[in-house]
Structure 1
Amino acid sequence: MTRPIPAAPSPLVKRVAAHIRQRFAAESTGHDWHHIRRVWQLSRQIAAAEGADVETAELAALVHDIADWKFHGGDESIGPREAEKLLGEEGANPETIRQVVDIVRTISYKGAGVATPMQTLAGQCVQDADRLDAIGAIGIARCFAYGGHAGRPIYDPEEAPVMHATAEAYKSAKGHSLNHFHEKLLLLKDRMNTRTGRNLAEERHRYLEEFVERFLAEWHFGELVGEETK
């Protein structure tokens, strides 16, 4: 089936994109301009396919990581504030700003046992796009990039995954990077909001499963070889 082609970005979207590109050009934790650009482009495609407001989805995608709580001492209010400030400065209308700020406030994953329902279809499209960039090959790379930044080990076979029941427990978690696959990444396929998002998630999810299986096989092979050479 041919996907609808979204209209060219508006002048407002282009101005916001230029600002975000400059602001995140040197970021190195996997939350860089390239991540934001991929989420932006995925949001455009999903919104067009689902009949959502494309400009609202684009703007929300561009500012969704403008001030992530992970890099601001756990402060979940700074992202919405920074998004509102930028959009106001660039001349967005109040209703668009309200919708985008709500998306930024709601978009983040907050734990296996925590629901994060979006109020608008545009928000659902952006949330799906952000989650798609957290799975598949690029999602794997981003997981380990952030894990290194946060000082997390790659893997510790003695530390089991934790299915966090609250946002506070998830935010305070310090587990190794491979646990993040079980605690978040492998759960995202079933948390997609839209049909388009679910379809796109299938192959990326399978790649995650294959990676974890291969990772553990190689890890345990190394342990067996080590036992034989003692």
Structure 2
Amino acid sequence: MNKAEILAETQAYIKKTFLDEGTGHDYFHIERVVTNAKKILETENADPFLVELAAWTHDVGDYKLHDGVDKSNELISEFLQTLQVEQETIDKVLEIVSQVSFSKGNTPTTIEAKIVQDADRLDAIGAVGIARCFAYGGSVHNVLYNPYDNSKDGSSVQHFYEKLFKLKDLMNTETAKKIANKRHQFMENFIEEFYQEVK
């Protein structure tokens, strides 16, 4: 199986597995991450096959979708082995995926990991990021907003301060930084308007 066929099979698997996922980590999120990664690849010298394969698989086995247990290594390996992907490539994909997550706090060690991390984080901010924040909050029964609770999981609005507003300054590539600036401003405008409405 050549690289194009592997990517096509991977996309089909992700679509089948994630299409109806309701936490904001659905197929279309993953597709947007791939699109973001390709956009960043235009200005970065990286392995496009590795970047795209890791972008497609970055949420496979994610702890948020498996009751708090990270199954990324196990499930990504199993799937890629069915496509007869070389073990060296699988290992590189696993390494990239392990460095994507915000909550794990890992620093990307390769340009490929930097690109996929940026691509994923771009989808967590801006208009789409706002929509995903509230979709995820609803899926785990977080309240929309609680002015008396500023704890980490106190509300979906609190998540802006715990994570979303931090992402702009954590981008690795120049392309992502430019996109992030605009999306960050949109979120700030949204939160300002939100507070005006809940006064």
Q: TM-score, normalised by structure 1?
A: 0.82
Are the equivalent residues in 2 in contact too, given 1:80–1:102 (CA < 8 A)? no
Tell me the CA shift for residue 96 of structure 1: 1.4
Question: CA separation in 2, counterparts of 1:51 and 1:138?
Answer: 28
Question: Does 2:164 correspond to 1:185?
Answer: yes
Taking only aligned residues, the RMSD between alpha carbons, in angstroms, comes to 1.3
Are the equivalent residues in 2 in contact too, given 1:24–1:32 (CA < 8 A)? yes
84-93 vs 136-145, greater mean Cα deviation: 84-93
Aligned twin of 1:135: 125
Give the counterpart letter for 2:115 in structure 1.
Answer: C
Of all paired residues, the percent bearing the same amino acid is 41
Give the counterpart letter for 2:112 in structure 1.
Answer: A
Tell me the CA shift for residue 161 of structure 1: 4.9
Aligned twin of 2:115: 125
Where do residues 178-217 of structure 1 align in structure 2 (5 Å cutoff)?
A: 178-217=157-196
Gaps of 5+ in 2: none
Question: CA separation in 2, counterparts of 1:69 and 1:219?
Answer: 33
Aligned twin of 2:101: 108
Give the counterpart letter for 2:56 in structure 1.
Answer: L
Question: Does 2:26 correspond to 1:36?
Answer: no
Which of 29, 39, 46 is the aligned partner of 1:45? 39
Give the counterpart letter for 1:73 in structure 2.
Answer: D
Give the counterpart letter for 2:191 in structure 1.
Answer: V
Greater Cα radius of gyration, structure 1 or 2: 1
Give the counterpart letter for 1:101 in structure 2.
Answer: L
| Cα offsets for 1:9-37 (capped at 9, x unmatched) | 72211111111111111112111000000
Are the equivalent residues in 1 in contact too, given 2:99–2:106 (CA < 8 A)? yes
Divergent runs of 4+, >3 A: none
Question: Does 2:150 correspond to 1:160?
Answer: yes
For this pair of structures, how many residues does the alignment match? 197
Question: CA separation in 2, counterparts of 1:134 and 1:73?
Answer: 21
Gaps of 5+ in 1: 1-8, 163-173, 221-230
